[in-house]
Structure 1
Amino acid sequence: MRFKLTLRPYTPYQKLTLNYNHPFSSWIYSRIKEADAEYATFLHQKGYKMSDSTKNFKHFTFSKFDIPHKAKPIEKGEDFILLSDRPIYITVSFFIDKAAEDFIVGLFKNQRIGIYNRKYQADFLIESVESLSAPLGNTTRLQYKAASPMVIAEKRADGNDDYLHPTDPRFARYFALNLLSKYESVYGKGITMDDSTLEKLINFKLTDTNKMRSKLISIKQNREEETKIKGYENFVFELNAPSKIVEVGFYGGFGKFTSSAGMGYCDIL
């Protein structure tokens, strides 16, 4: 399910860090912990965990902030957004049952949120939480736009990630492997399949790269060593896969770093 949050700045002329992804994700986790300790324990320690893997998927992601009225345009070299006193908006997307809708609305409504790093802090009141209608239905073949950076990577021999460009021949395979792992973490592991079978089950097709751009996101910003991840946004792709598999990726995010940095949030075209 998806929820549109309306955030009202407490004061005008606050500076919002451009790298707000990880701080916002951290606030979501802290709010869950305050609201429901049992749910937080499940989300942090268990998540949807595969029985034979150390992977731990936390199935939520979020859009970029929609800021219609900035106090001034962002100038070259600046690493913050100067806010006015007008509301800003963000959509949070959870792979959850509809029965949890009231819990999520209560989790966010009328809450105070602070988004900060070592340099800047911006404080907001969440004025409203709007549940958005489910657009997927039972359709298996749809086109999507990567509205936030999508991170698809191959693990190198040294243990680090090799971040893949959407035109890379490996991209579709690792997109499918990641999505299948997320599905299996929810519904249980199925049969082992070769690349050809995987491609037939989860078929990714890149259709438009005219406005595509790369983006570096910093996570763990308040530690001595920052971690930077690289994703690509504003590209269009077609995905043909069983509806239950698509739902896990659409609501929980496609690719890596979905809950920790809001990556892989996509809109249906």
Structure 2
Amino acid sequence: MRLELTLRPTRGRYKIPINYNYPLSSVFYRIFSYGSPEFATWLHDNGFINQKGKPLKLFNFSRIFFSNYKIDGNCILASGQIKIVFSSPLGDSIIPAFINGILNTRTITIANNEIGAKFKIHNVIKIDPPTFLRDMKYLALNPIISSIVKENESGKKIIHFLRPEEPELTFQLKKNLLEKYLLIYKEKYNELIHLKLDRDYIDKVGGFSKITKLITIKEGEKTETKVKGFICPVEISASQKMQKIVYDCGLGERNSMGFGMVDLIRTKQSSP
């Protein structure tokens, strides 16, 4: 289920950090806390545990859609209202908790340690879902992230963010979807699933380097880290239930940090 939030700034012109994923994720946890502090703490510290013991938050959000903006170094200078899409497959728990939080939220602040802006929630509407077919093509609304743990030259284990040209990327993206499917539906996915990046798009924009994005998390803090992802149309062939997972949860990792949200581009002619 998806909700579209319209926020209005408290000032005519404002400035927010260009690396706003972490600040915006913090905003959503704060909204949860306004509705239920206990639920917000549990979701942040624990979440939904899959069979491998890995916690998943099972919510996602889009990039910010600005009315007017320009990039100025590490800042976004903007004016006018903004829109953000919030999504979760759990319409009986996360969505109600989020809505309850919104009802108790007066203003929100999107900021890091140096710059930021305050907004008032002007409107929230439910977005009608698309018709899910076996073959669908999606546009990434923010970077898609997938990683593996590997050893470097000194034998130390490190997180390696998969580049879009690496063959293992699609395997890991499918593996992630299977884990989400099992956690949400409480059953294994036993059908075929095919996933591929739009190579025509990649060639058109100038190659893999043009779709690769580097994002800073907790910018300016001692725990600052960088993650690498990509933005590219993705074609997926899978069951309707799996397509709903893609739409509601997002692709790849760190969805609750605002990564991997997709929207429908078009559907091919196919039987449901």
Q: What's the TM-score, normalizing by structure 1? A: 0.85
CA deviation after TM superposition for structure 1 residue 160, in Å: 2.2
Q: Which residue, out of 181, 190, 196, partners 1:205?
A: 196
Is the partner of 2:122 in helix, strand or coil?
strand
Q: Indicate how the Cα distance of structure 1 residues 226 and 102 shifts in structure 2: closer, same or farther if over 3 A, else same.
A: closer
Q: Which residue, out of 63, 87, 90, partners 2:84?
A: 90
CA deviation after TM superposition for structure 1 residue 229, in Å: 0.3
2:223 paired residue number: 225
Rounded Cα–Cα distance in structure 1 between residues aligned with 2:102 and 2:59: 15
Rounded Cα–Cα distance in structure 2 between residues aligned with 1:37 and 1:117: 23
2:61 paired residue number: 62
Q: What is the 5 A alignment of 1:41-60?
A: 41-51=41-51, 53-60=52-59
Rounded Cα–Cα distance in structure 2 between residues aligned with 1:121 and 1:267: 28
Q: Which residue, out of 110, 119, 122, partners 1:124?
A: 119
How many matched pairs? Answer: 253
Q: What's the TM-score, normalizing by structure 2? A: 0.84
2:182 paired residue number: 184
- Cα deviation, 1:102-131, whole Å, max 9, x if unaligned, reads 553343256311011111011000100011
Rounded Cα–Cα distance in structure 2 between residues aligned with 1:15 and 1:67: 12
1:149 maps onto 2:140 in alignment: no
Is the partner of 1:87 in helix, strand or coil?
strand
- Cα deviation, 1:202-245, whole Å, max 9, x if unaligned, reads 21022232345221111133531311100101x11211122223
CA deviation after TM superposition for structure 1 residue 81, in Å: 1.4
2:252 paired residue number: 255
Q: Indicate how the Cα distance of structure 1 residues 248 and 46 shifts in structure 2: closer, same or farther if over 3 A, else same.
A: farther
Q: Name which of structure 1's ranges 33-42 and 221-230 shifts more when overlaid on structure 2.
A: 33-42
2:268 paired residue number: none
Rounded Cα–Cα distance in structure 2 between residues aligned with 1:59 and 1:185: 10
Contact conserved, 2:59 with 2:87, CA < 8 A, in 1?
yes
Q: Indicate how the Cα distance of structure 1 residues 102 and 60 shifts in structure 2: closer, same or farther if over 3 A, else same.
A: closer
Contact conserved, 1:182 with 1:249, CA < 8 A, in 2?
no
Contact conserved, 1:49 with 1:186, CA < 8 A, in 2?
no
AA at the equivalent of 2:171? R
CA deviation after TM superposition for structure 1 residue 99, in Å: 7.8
Unmatched segments (≥5 aa) in structure 2: 266-272
2:7 paired residue number: 7
Contact conserved, 1:144 with 1:268, CA < 8 A, in 2?
yes
Q: What is the 5 A alignment of 1:156-167?
A: 156-157=150-151, 158-167=156-165
Identity score, percent: 30
2:109 paired residue number: 114
Is the partner of 1:186 in helix, strand or coil?
helix
Is the partner of 1:74 in helix, strand or coil?
strand
Rounded Cα–Cα distance in structure 2 between residues aligned with 1:161 and 1:201: 29
Query: RMSD value over aligned CA atoms?
Result: 2.3
1:194 paired residue number: none
Q: Name which of structure 1's ranges 156-165 and 11-20 shifts more when overlaid on structure 2.
A: 156-165
Q: Indicate how the Cα distance of structure 1 residues 100 and 59 shifts in structure 2: closer, same or farther if over 3 A, else same.
A: closer
As a proportion of its length, which structure holds more strand?
2
Q: Indicate how the Cα distance of structure 1 residues 159 and 246 shifts in structure 2: closer, same or farther if over 3 A, else same.
A: farther
Contact conserved, 1:149 with 1:215, CA < 8 A, in 2?
yes
Contact conserved, 1:50 with 1:188, CA < 8 A, in 2?
no
- Cα deviation, 1:67-116, whole Å, max 9, x if unaligned, reads 1223xx324xx1111222x2111111112226865553343256311011
